[in-house]
């Protein structure tokens, strides 16, 4: 049976039993009320009859006094007493209608009073007479009043009996009422006990049993039998559901336990990872307060974990603070951002990356701090090494170019020497002529010598010889100057460079390399300044030209062009050499990659070219077809020196 049915049954039975109890008790109570009212009226009647007795006692005594002393003045009072007595008896008679008492007695009493009144009246008439007639009247009155007393006693007895009967009835109905109360209460208690017992057996006990089973400590197997058989339907269903639920819980718990173990393992692993990971990891909240960190953080921030936790992350990494000192959430989300620790740290270089993560509904930031001080030092070293490498490469190219350059120098030096030898001969002839001419006596000799030595020609030839010598010296000077500037290490600060002029310089230096097999075509139309490091860019152009020359085996052409395209200068080196294989195109800028025979190339040329161009904020593209040639296009931004300086300083700082 369902609990709801129990409740309905209980409600109905309670209502029915309550109704039965109420109706029966009310009915019995009404009986008591009725009988009690009758008994009360009976008692009132008894009191009235008692009063009648008293009145009649006075009435009779008054008569006795009247008769004894023949005191006729009492007659009026006796008459009034008679009327009062009669009135009382009449009122009793009226009430007696309801009490079914013997009304004849009352009638006789009333009649006796009336008759006695007449006797008293007649006595008062004859009392003064000197005869004995009054004694007859007294005797008649005594007879009447004796009868009155007898009847009054009878009536009183009736009333007493009636009162006793009423009292008995009252006691009976009262007893019945209490008996009924006891019976009803007993039945009700039995009913309550039965219902409580039923409730206890089918509802409470099973629930207690389930509760006890639920509270008891789990046994080893974890199997607890919750199912109840003798219970309300809901409890049976509930116990089955609990049983299924507990089984499900057991399974889930085992899974959870396994997962917990896995989590512990994972946690241990994560802790190990966290503590061994070679970077600092800190967890900060939205206010930038550090909530967690790993061991590496202690080493980076030179403090123990307990001291670090709770502090603001910006105390350690000022870059993560806003201008108002708050936590820079957007800044924390940067990736691989190089920054500095607080000035108090001796090794301040770090790189941080941040991610926003939600933990238990709250936004947190996981920030990694990587100590890049070594890298910075390495970068510096590498930069230095790179400079050395560039320089070495430059020197190497100078070495490669040295023969050509020497040849280029040797030619002018040769004809300078030749010219100087001629000029020396000319000078000797002229000196001898002048010596002869100074002597007046040797004027003829001088003229002969003049003609002999054809000094007119000499004088005419000296100027071209000197010009040629000066030109040769200038050529040598230029080559040496260009070579010197090429070999010279750049200043630290960039400077404005006329890019077309720098290309020309490069052509000068590689002229001997090119002139026997390459036809140079120039379209230098940029005619703008590019800010940068001239020696490095010169190295780039020489490298481009030498590579093009090397790509041309016997005879070819190289077209050099410069052009201004919007905000950048495009410099193109186009050759019709052997070209570059497609597979090699992707590797040509890698360091130490070369297709040249061993000893002919370092493999660093194009790598350095690209690094220098990138250093200048530009980039280089290449396209090549094997057998047809290659096109290298260099794009350099058209920047002023101040802009380049800013970029340069930024790079230096970073």
Partner 1 sequence: MKKYYLPLLLMLFSQDIDAVAYCSLRDPVALIKQLYPDKTNQLSIVKMVDDNIRAQVQVALPRNDLHFSELGRHTLYIIMQGKHSLGYVHVRSEQSDWGLVEVAWAIAKDLTIANFAFQRCRSPNKKVAEQQQFKDIFIGKNFQELKKLLHSDGVTAKNAVLKRAQPAPELANVMLRCSLKTLLLTEILWGDELKKY
Closest alpha carbon to 496 in 640, 368, 635 = 640
Report the 10 Å Cβ neighbour count for 455: 19
Distances, alpha carbon 601 to alpha carbons 395, 400, 510, 550, 593, in Å:
13, 10, 16, 10, 9
Q: Closer CB to partner 1, residue 151 or residue 243?
A: 151
- Rounded to a whole number of angstroms, the minimum distance from the CB of residue 39 to partner 1 is 23
Report the 10 Å Cβ neighbour count for 208: 11
| Beta pairing class for 337-340 and 280-285 | unpaired
CA dist 43 and 49 (Å) reads: 10
Determine contact, residues 638/564, Cβ cutoff 8 Å. Answer: yes
CA dist 231 and 239 (Å) reads: 10
631: β partners: 574, 623
Q: Closer CB to partner 1, residue 54 or residue 118?
A: 54
CA 470 to chain centre: 84
Which residues of this protein are in contact with partner 1, per CB under 8 A? 50, 53-54, 57-65, 68-69, 71, 74, 77, 135, 138, 142, 145-146, 148-150, 153
Closest alpha carbon to 633 in 618, 616, 612 = 618
- Rounded to a whole number of angstroms, the minimum distance from the CB of residue 166 to partner 1 is 24
- Rounded to a whole number of angstroms, the minimum distance from the CB of residue 149 to partner 1 is 4
CA dist 392 and 237 (Å) reads: 91
- Rounded to a whole number of angstroms, the minimum distance from the CB of residue 116 to partner 1 is 11
- Rounded to a whole number of angstroms, the minimum distance from the CB of residue 108 to partner 1 is 14
Q: Closer CB to partner 1, residue 71 or residue 623?
A: 71
Q: Closer CB to partner 1, residue 123 or residue 486?
A: 123
Q: CA angle, corner 179, sides to 173 and 180, nearest 5?
A: 85
Q: Closer CB to partner 1, residue 64 or residue 461?
A: 64
CA dist 317 and 532 (Å) reads: 34
Q: Closer CB to partner 1, residue 153 or residue 421?
A: 153
Which phi and psi (to 5°) does residue 502 adopt?
-65, -35
Q: Closer CB to partner 1, residue 156 or residue 593?
A: 156
Distances, alpha carbon 300 to alpha carbons 282, 283, 335, 347, 480, in Å:
11, 15, 19, 9, 53
- Rounded to a whole number of angstroms, the minimum distance from the CB of residue 50 to partner 1 is 8
- Rounded to a whole number of angstroms, the minimum distance from the CB of residue 74 to partner 1 is 6
Q: Closer CB to partner 1, residue 133 or residue 468?
A: 133
Q: Is 70 left (phi over 0), alpha (psi -120 to 50) or beta?
A: left
- Rounded to a whole number of angstroms, the minimum distance from the CB of residue 184 to partner 1 is 45
- Rounded to a whole number of angstroms, the minimum distance from the CB of residue 90 to partner 1 is 21
- Rounded to a whole number of angstroms, the minimum distance from the CB of residue 188 to partner 1 is 49
- Rounded to a whole number of angstroms, the minimum distance from the CB of residue 102 to partner 1 is 16
Residue 265, exposed/middle/buried by CB under 10 A (0-12, 13-18, 19+)? Answer: exposed
224: its two tokens: 């607890």
CA 439 to chain centre: 116
Determine contact, residues 166/33, Cβ cutoff 8 Å. Answer: no
SS (H, E, C) 101-169: CCHHHHHHHHHHHHHHHHHHHHHHHHCCCCCCHHHHHHHHHHHHHHHHHHHHHHHHHHHHHHHHHHHHH
575: β partners: 558
Q: Closer CB to partner 1, residue 55 or residue 321?
A: 55
- Rounded to a whole number of angstroms, the minimum distance from the CB of residue 143 to partner 1 is 9
Q: Closer CB to partner 1, residue 29 or residue 156?
A: 156
Q: Closer CB to partner 1, residue 57 or residue 254?
A: 57
Q: Closer CB to partner 1, residue 144 or residue 436?
A: 144
């Amino acid at each position: 049976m369902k609990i709801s049915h129990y409740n309905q049954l209980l409600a109905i039975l309670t209502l029915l039993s309550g109704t039965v109890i109420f109706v029966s008790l009310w009915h019995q109570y009404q009986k008591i009320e009725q009988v009690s009212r009758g008994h009360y009226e009976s008692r009132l009647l008894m009191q009235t009859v008692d009063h009648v007795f008293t009145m009649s006692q006075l009435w009779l005594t008054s008569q006795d006094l009247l008769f004894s002393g023949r005191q006729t003045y009492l007659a009026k009072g006796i008459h009034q007493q008679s009327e009062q007595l009669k009135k009382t008896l009449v009122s009793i008679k009226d009430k007696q209608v309801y009490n079914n008492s013997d009304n004849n007695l009352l009638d006789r009493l009333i009649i006796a009073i009336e008759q006695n009144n007449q006797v008293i009246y007649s006595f008062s008439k004859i009392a003064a007479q000197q005869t004995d007639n009054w004694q007859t009247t007294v005797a008649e009155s005594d007879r009447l009043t004796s009868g009155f007393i007898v009847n009054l006693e009878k009536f009183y007895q009736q009333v007493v009996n009636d009162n006793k009967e009423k009292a008995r009835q009252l006691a009976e109905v009262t007893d019945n009422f209490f008996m009924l109360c006891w019976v009803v209460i007993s039945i009700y208690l039995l009913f309550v006990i039965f219902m409580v017992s039923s409730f206890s057996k089918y509802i409470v006990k099973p629930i207690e049993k389930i509760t006890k089973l639920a509270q008891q400590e789990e046994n080893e197997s974890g199997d607890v039998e919750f199912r109840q058989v003798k219970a309300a339907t809901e409890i049976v269903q509930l116990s089955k559901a609990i049983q299924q639920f507990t089984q499900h819980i057991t399974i889930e718990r085992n899974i959870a336990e396994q997962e917990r173990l896995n989590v512990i393992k994972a946690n241990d692993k994560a802790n190990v990872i966290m503590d061994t990971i070679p970077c600092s990891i800190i967890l900060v909240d939205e206010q930038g307060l550090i909530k967690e960190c790993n061991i590496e953080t202690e080493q980076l921030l030179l403090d123990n974990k307990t001291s670090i936790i709770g502090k603001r992350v910006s105390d350690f990494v000022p870059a993560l603070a806003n201008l108002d000192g708050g936590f820079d959430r957007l800044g924390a989300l940067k990736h691989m951002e190089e920054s500095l620790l607080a000035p108090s740290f001796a090794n301040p270089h770090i790189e941080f990356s941040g991610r926003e993560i939600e933990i238990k509904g709250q936004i947190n930031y996981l920030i990694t701090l990587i100590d890049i001080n070594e890298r910075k030092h390495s970068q510096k070293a590498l930069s230095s090494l790179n400079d050395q490498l560039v320089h070495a490469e430059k020197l190497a190219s100078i070495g490669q170019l040295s023969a050509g350059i020497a040849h280029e120098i040797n030619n002018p030096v040769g004809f300078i020497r030749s010219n100087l030898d001629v000029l020396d001969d000319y000078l000797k002839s002229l000196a001898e002529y002048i010596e002869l001419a100074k002597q007046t006596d040797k004027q003829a000799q001088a003229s002969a010598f003049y003609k002999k030595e054809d000094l007119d020609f000499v004088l005419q030839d000296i100027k071209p010889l000197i010009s040629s010598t000066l030109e040769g010296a200038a050529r040598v000077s230029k080559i040496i100057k260009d070579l010197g500037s090429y070999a010279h290490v750049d200043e630290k600060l960039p400077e404005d460079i006329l890019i077309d002029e720098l290309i020309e310089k490069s052509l000068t230096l590689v002229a001997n390399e090119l002139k026997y097999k390459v036809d140079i075509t120039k379209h230098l139309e940029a005619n703008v300044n590019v800010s940068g490091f001239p020696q490095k860019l010169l190295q780039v152009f020489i490298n481009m030209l030498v590579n093009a020359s090397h790509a041309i085996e016997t005879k070819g052409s190289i077209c050099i062009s410069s052009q201004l395209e919007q905000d950048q200068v495009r410099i193109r080196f186009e050759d019709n050499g052997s070209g570059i294989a497609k597979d090699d195109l992707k590797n040509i800028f890698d360091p130490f990659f070369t297709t040249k025979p061993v000893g002919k190339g370092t493999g660093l040329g194009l790598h350095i070219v690209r690094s220098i161009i990138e250093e200048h904020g530009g980039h280089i593209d290449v396209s090549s077809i094997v057998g047809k040639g290659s096109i290298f296009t260099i794009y350099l931004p058209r920047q002023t020196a101040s802009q380049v300086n800013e970029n340069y300083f930024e790079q230096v700082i970073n």
